[in-house]
Amino acid sequence: MTDLLILGAGTAGTMVANRLRAQLDASWQVTVVDVDDRHHYQPGYLFVPFGSYAPQRVEKSRRAQLADGVIFVEGEISRVDSAARSVLLTDGRALAYDWLVIASGTRPRPEQVRGLTDPSIWYAESAEPRQASAFDFYTLEGATALRDALAAFEGGRLLVHVSELPIKCPVAPLEFAFLADDFFRRRGIRHKVDITYVTPLDGAFTKPVASAALGGLLDDRSVRLAADFAVERVNPESKRLVAFDGRELPFDLLVTVPPNMGQQFVIDSGLGDDMGFVPVDKHTMRSEADERIFVIGDASNVPTSKAGSVAHFQVDHFAENFELAVEGKPLTSLFDGHANCFVETGRGKGLLLDFNYETEPLTGVFPYPGVGPLRLLGESRLNHLGKLAFEQIYWHLLLPGRPLPVPTVMSMRGKRLPALTS
């Protein structure tokens, strides 16, 4: 029996397990490890604070998402002993492997920002969470607590803040700002709420074409932009966000994306960088340190978005490459950094991004040139509906490993480079 061990039963780990269980013969044992049996549809976190999704809607059993024949082990990972090809759990169990896939994702680390987790403001530490003034929405607990805070908010200064990059789904904070504008507008109190989008980037997004388009949408929604803001600390007494350059932004409600880091066991095993992300070949997802280890999804250091679509495209390539790796052959299916994502812009509309390592998000149509029907970097009702439809696609097509009508390798068909004005 040959053992394939997968660390993490989130999006990436579940897709890998299901694809390879169907692909490999009975001489392989496929085992997945995770700390609990709670699989979360993380894109749904965005909708929980605004009351569109109930918290229980985004959570299902991890075991229920795994194909028949996949073994699920519930336990916390302590470290990987790559020399012995063994994974140690905190309860003392050891799991042997012949091949290892790390799909352990990222985790928000609010304690990395000085002052943020002070009990007087941070929801998770406050004796009265409903009276807290600082929240995240990258956890279900944070998104749920924020729902109550937004419902009670009657006006004041709202900061939507990104601490540093990389983060999971880098457009999600922008989406939150757009949806907050819509939320308060529908409540009839938008004129009482001053919304500022705070980012360490020099604009709304990482690349110029998308940054210009998304920055224009912020202007259209009367959302202020505080760019190049490298947070140094939060002052809980005065409720101010303080930058290293001395700038201070006051808030009545702070919605922050804390630093995202890899898992502690990655660092403790000597497999990751200072942020806990595993260095890999960005085209094959193979660990630079050990040829028997692959890393899929958010746990690696590849220079593209940490998003579900990236994990999906990586799995497509990995599934083709894995048996070649086992046979000692060169890996021929090369991941190009392809990512695409719907961006909720509020008011029943959304836009779509499609890009890779070499090509930034551009305008145009997707997936078919001249036809679309989806607009790239342009608002439409259909893009919004596509975002909503993805929930069912996720549970019933993506996780089970079924093919999707989207090219794995990014295509330039239907895309165009607009002229930027100064």
The closest of 87, 78, 68 to 4, measured between CA atoms, is 87
Helix (H, G, I), strand (E, B) or coil at 246: coil
Q: Which contiguous run of DSSP H or E holds residue 342?
A: strand 339-346
> Domain holding 227: CATH number?
3.50.50.60
Is residue 143 within 8 Å of 48, Cβ to Cβ? yes
- Are 174 and 160 within one domain? yes
- Are 43 and 128 within one domain? no
Is residue 295 within 8 Å of 200, Cβ to Cβ? no
- Are 81 and 132 within one domain? no
pLDDT at 370: 82
Helix (H, G, I), strand (E, B) or coil at 169: coil
Instruction: Mention every residue, 6+ apart, whose C-beta is less than 8 A from residue 9.
Output: 17, 32, 33, 34, 39, 62, 65, 66, 72
pLDDT at 210: 93
pLDDT at 422: 44
Instruction: Mention every residue, 6+ apart, whose C-beta is less than 8 A from residue 410.
Output: 336, 337, 338, 354, 355, 356, 359
pLDDT at 309: 94
Residue 352 maps to a domain: yes
The residue assigned the tokens 């989406």 is: 175
pLDDT at 421: 47
User: Final residue of a domain: which of 240, 260, 280?
Assistant: 260
Q: In whole angstroms, give the CA distance from residue 77 to residue 93.
A: 10
User: Final residue of a domain: which of 300, 326, 352?
Assistant: 326
pLDDT at 405: 82
Both ends of the chain: CA-CA distance in Å? 62
Residue 176 maps to a domain: yes
Instruction: Mention every residue, 6+ apart, whose C-beta is less than 8 A from residue 379.
Output: 217, 345, 349, 350, 351
Residue 421 maps to a domain: no
Provide the CA 157 distance to its chain's centre, in angstroms.
26
- Are 239 and 283 within one domain? no
- Are 174 and 210 within one domain? yes
Half-sphere exposure of 222 (CA within 13 A, CB side): 9
Instruction: Mention every residue, 6+ apart, whose C-beta is less than 8 A from residue 346.
Output: 178, 179, 181, 182, 183, 221
What letter would DSSP give residue 394? Answer: I
166 prior amide bond cis, ω within 30: yes
Residue 331 maps to a domain: no
- Are 66 and 122 within one domain? no
pLDDT at 217: 97
- Are 21 and 142 within one domain? no
Spell out the per-residue pLDDT of the chain, length 422, in tens. Answer: 999 999 999 999 999 999 999 999 999 999 999 999 999 999 999 999 999 999 999 999 999 999 999 999 999 999 999 999 999 999 999 999 999 999 999 999 999 999 999 999 999 998 787 789 999 999 999 999 999 999 999 999 999 999 999 999 999 999 999 999 999 999 999 999 999 999 999 999 988 999 999 999 999 999 999 999 999 999 999 999 999 999 999 999 999 999 999 999 999 999 999 999 999 999 999 999 999 999 999 999 999 999 999 999 999 999 999 999 999 999 999 999 999 999 999 999 999 999 999 999 999 999 988 888 999 999 999 999 999 999 999 999 999 988 888 889 999 999 987 665 44
- Are 293 and 314 within one domain? yes
- Are 25 and 71 within one domain? yes
Q: In whole angstroms, give the CA distance from residue 186 to residue 181.
A: 9
Count of structural domains within the chain = 3
418 prior amide bond cis, ω within 30: no
Is residue 402 within 8 Å of 373, Cβ to Cβ? no
Residue 422 maps to a domain: no
Q: In whole angstroms, give the CA distance from residue 321 to residue 288.
A: 16
Domain of residue 399, residue span: 339-416
Residue 148 maps to a domain: yes
Give me the amino acid identity at 344: E
- CB 378: neighbour CB atoms within 10 A? 16
- Calculate ∠ Cα 170-179-367, nearest 5°: 60
User: Final residue of a domain: which of 210, 229, 260?
Assistant: 260
DSSP string of 46-98, one letter each residue: GGTTTTSS-GGGGEEEHHHHSPTTEEEEE--EEEEETTTTEEEETTS-EEE-S
- Are 248 and 266 within one domain? no
pLDDT at 334: 98
Residue 332 maps to a domain: no
Instruction: Mention every residue, 6+ apart, whose C-beta is less than 8 A from residue 409.
Output: 336, 338
- Are 254 and 280 within one domain? no
Helix axes 308-326, 11-23, angle to 10 degrees: 40
Backbone angles phi, psi at 316, to 5 degrees: -55, -45
pLDDT at 403: 84
Residue 394 maps to a domain: yes
- Are 160 and 25 within one domain? no
DSSP string of 296-335, one letter each residue: -GGGB--SS-BSHHHHHHHHHHHHHHHHHHHTTPPP----
pLDDT at 419: 61
Q: In whole angstroms, give the CA distance from residue 132 to residue 152.
A: 11
